[in-house]
Structure 1
Amino acid sequence: MELYRGSNTNQMDYNEDGRGPKSGKVLASIDDRLDSGLDSLKEEECTDVESAFERLKVDGDEPWKKELTEDGDTYLHLAVIHEATEAAIQMINLSYGDPFLNIQNNQRQTALHLAVVTEQPLIVEQLLKSGCDASLVDDSGNTALHIACRKGSLACFSLLTQGCPQQLPAILQTPNYNGQKCIHMVAIQGYLSLLESLIQLGADINAQEQCNGRTALHLAVDLQNFELVKLLINKGADVHSFTYGGHMPYHLTYGRANTDIRKVLYELTAPHLRELPDSESEDSDGDYEDQCISDDDVYDDIKMMGQV
């Protein structure tokens, strides 16, 4: 994928009058650095974005708000992607309450999504203060908070949970297109402190994944994370919750190596419910890790143009 090609005259491709980016000038092709990570970004690309914005900013009708790359990125998307912080903050300050802040690119990422992906809490804070909608989802169904939960970004997590109090209850109940809510994301990653924070913020500890009915406790057993199992039990997780295949957390200990998890759940599970269901189900097969999409897979390329 290219961040900017400049081949479409309806997108960012200006003439030689200095009013905007000419093909290939503002952002070079990234064909030579696919999958290479954020470290491969060139410093001049940040400078190019800032320079182009400065040229356009002098025009009173704010043309920088109207231009898109063929990937659907605005100048704000590009400034966030290339960590052109000063230019990004200027755009945000000039767009208070403006729908421009919520424009989604071809992967349905807003600037807020990208600020979390690139772990820029200052930009996250400024976007939230200026009215960016934190409930919008990308093409994987993830809100910005889903991404912060998956990445374990404490700073972004704190800003997102504190910066949109009216939207937060709905966001916590929002499943992505894999059927996972934020509490499932942190359980999969094993982030104990974030999980505890989500519960304190009102997340349903017994929320079920939409695809198979697993709760966070089921996931903790699948991933053989004893510390997570103990935390969830201490916080009141239901040990008798059934997946859609009829399995409780204790059932998922069969064939697993961690005897501590098995012992704890055995003692807490009602005796008449300990026996495995008659039929096997997909939700008891294999480790959950094999069924999850990793962060690297989700944000391939340079970890910022989100494809699933």
Structure 2
Amino acid sequence: MASDDCGKDALLDERVDSGVDSIRSTGKPEESREPSADFSGPREKFSVSGADERLDSAYGSSSITGDSLTELVVHCTLSSGQEEQTDSSELSEQEENLLTTITEEGDTILHLAIIHEEDFITQQLIHIFPKEVLDIQNNLYQTPLHLATYLNLPSVVKSLVEKGASLELQDQHGNTAFHVACQHGQTECATEMTSDVSFSKLGSVLEIQNWRGLTCLHVAALNRQHQILKLLMKTGADLNIQEGTSGKTALHLAVELHDITSVKLLLSKGANVDAAMFNGCTPLHLAVGRQDATIAHLLCQSGADTMLRNMEDETALDLADGNNDILALFPFDDIQISGRSLVGVPSF
């Protein structure tokens, strides 16, 4: 019997999901995919799907408004200018208040400025604040960089990264800001996160798994984010990295989703066509188990080994289930003994 992970019925009900809560920042329709993303209500009411937790954890519960933010920052900026003429090592009282004020939801004024999408104010605060403040996480473990990415604010992302904001901090789901960009297809934000970052530092970021064992590459593959996938390939991401629960590579995930575009992209950039999951299933096992003759053909053209066996001692052919289109991909498929193909039968 075919294993559940390789079989055709195991695709989306049991597969590893992205682990990124669905929060649509643009309100634009997306192509159908799993996990589903839904957005309802006005822009300032972003809600985490299926929960009462909110992206803007202080927005609406705070008395701070856009006008009051402006007033605070103008005073702080003027004060900062005066300080530079006297003693730049001393902070004004207003600056100290800004630095130390945190709402009961854990948001700094920088979090709030980003949530309000007050770009000028946000840029001023990034200029004023030291790196340590830029990396403060609220009660949902979101940094300002997480919020700027959720809201697709590439100019804010750029400023935060240039100031040294951490790319490695993880939110309550284990997602870095880069995970968020990969989930929602925020290509511009992702580009800003990679443009001025050293290869060694970026490499460690791309290896981070969220709490569901998924790296940024896996999240991009699961959400059919082809532009993000191309960006990750340019940055030198490990295309064969395995997610932490079942050992799937991005190619396995693309095959499960019947995503031909991603399959072609990954194969063209050298993804291992014979990569094995923890249970021994290769992408070809998954394609055949799901009766996807088109992708199975692509894999075979790329040199997939049809003789590899999973931990249940099955070859891909064993999962063909009489599909003639798939059987035609295998040699000697018309030579059988007792209804079983001679492919894989040891010779003596």
TM-score for both structures, normalised by structure 2: 0.64
Letter in 1 for 2:308: L
Q: CA deviation at 1:37?
A: 4.9
1:203 is matched with 237
Larger Rg: 2
2:137 is matched with 104
Pairs within 5 Å for 1:235-274: 235-267=269-301, 268-273=303-308
2:312 is matched with 277
- 1:165-221 C-alpha deviation (Å, 9 max, x unpaired): 252111011111111111111111122232122122121110000111000110011
1:89 is matched with 123
**C-alpha spacing 1:47/1:184, structure 2 compared with 1 (3 Å):** same
Return the alpha-carbon distance in structure 1 between the equivalents of residues 299 and 247 of structure 2.
18
Return the alpha-carbon distance in structure 1 between the equivalents of residues 300 and 119 of structure 2.
53
Pairs within 5 Å for 1:29-178: 36-38=41-43, 45-54=65-74, 60-61=92-93, 62=95, 63-95=97-129, 97-165=130-198, 167-178=201-212
RMSD: 2.7
Segment drifting more, 85-94 vs 186-195: 186-195
Return the alpha-carbon distance in structure 2 between the equivalents of residues 150 and 247 of structure 1.
26
Return the alpha-carbon distance in structure 1 between the equivalents of residues 306 and 127 of structure 2.
61
Query: Structure 1 vs Structure 2: percent identity of aligned residues?
Result: 35
Return the alpha-carbon distance in structure 1 between the equivalents of residues 255 and 175 of structure 2.
24
> Do structure 1's residue 212 and structure 2's residue 217 form an aligned pair?
no
Return 5+ residue gaps in structure 1 as ranges. Answer: 1-33, 285-308
Q: CA deviation at 1:148?
A: 1.0
- 1:106-162 C-alpha deviation (Å, 9 max, x unpaired): 111111111111111111111112221222111222111111111111210110011
Return the alpha-carbon distance in structure 1 between the equivalents of residues 121 and 115 of structure 2.
12
3-state SS, counterpart of residue 307 of structure 2? helix
Return the alpha-carbon distance in structure 2 between the equivalents of residues 134 and 270 of structure 1.
38
Return the alpha-carbon distance in structure 1 between the equivalents of residues 272 and 261 of structure 2.
16
Return the alpha-carbon distance in structure 1 between the equivalents of residues 156 and 243 of structure 2.
31
Return 5+ residue gaps in structure 2 as ranges. Answer: 1-38, 47-58, 80-90, 320-348
- 1:23-61 C-alpha deviation (Å, 9 max, x unpaired): xxxxxxxxxxx9525265999943343345446765813
1:21 is matched with none
Query: Is the contact between residue 281 and residue 309 of structure 2 (CA under 8 Å) also seen in structure 1?
Result: no
Query: Is the contact between residue 187 and residue 227 of structure 2 (CA under 8 Å) also seen in structure 1?
Result: no
- 1:91-113 C-alpha deviation (Å, 9 max, x unpaired): 11112x43111111111111111
**C-alpha spacing 1:64/1:249, structure 2 compared with 1 (3 Å):** same
3-state SS, counterpart of residue 254 of structure 2? helix
Query: Is the contact between residue 215 and residue 243 of structure 2 (CA under 8 Å) also seen in structure 1?
Result: yes
1:10 is matched with none
2:340 is matched with none
Return the alpha-carbon distance in structure 2 between the equivalents of residues 170 and 241 of structure 1.
22
Return the alpha-carbon distance in structure 1 between the equivalents of residues 226 and 40 of structure 2.
30
Q: Could you tell me which of 266, 273, 277 is aligned with 1:232?
A: 266
Letter in 1 for 2:70: E
